[in-house]
Amino acid sequence: MTCDLQRWPLVRCVYDQAMDLQHYSSQLDDWALWLARKEPFALLRIYRSAAALQHPEGSAPLAKAWLQNTVPRLKGAVMAMATVVPASEYETLKQFPAGKLLGITAELFVEEAEAMDWLTAQMAAYAAQD
């Protein structure tokens, strides 16, 4: 997993392969760093394989604690989140909308360009609210 913050407030994370528990925990820590900036941001998550979407064994307690501690802080901090997944995973993942779970504006895509267009529009709409 690599995350690029060079175009902040856009965060672009690419997941190429399955994560172990250490990398999974590190990804959750990244959210804390982004939130600590106290500046709204948008997130583009790109999963390049079905394996990259899998949660490592033992991650459930970490995920539960993260959700309990972090979700209340996301609204207002996250402008929007676009997630790009392999076409083979789209229909399954569409049934579990991340935005609803996290309380943020989020959408699922197969094409990175389409995701970026949507995210750019969401960021512009967010900025227009100020």
pLDDT tens-digit readout, 28-51 = 999 999 999 999 999 999 999 999
Q: Are 58 and 22 in contact (CB under 8 A)?
A: no
pLDDT band at 75, cuts 50/70/90?
confident
Query: Would strands 10-15 and 2-7 be described as parallel, antiparallel, or unpaired?
Result: antiparallel
CB-based contacts of 49: which residues, under 8 Å, 6+ apart?
Answer: 15, 16, 17, 86
pLDDT surpassing 90 at residue 16: yes
Closest CA to 80 of 47, 109, 105: 105
pTM of the model: 0.93
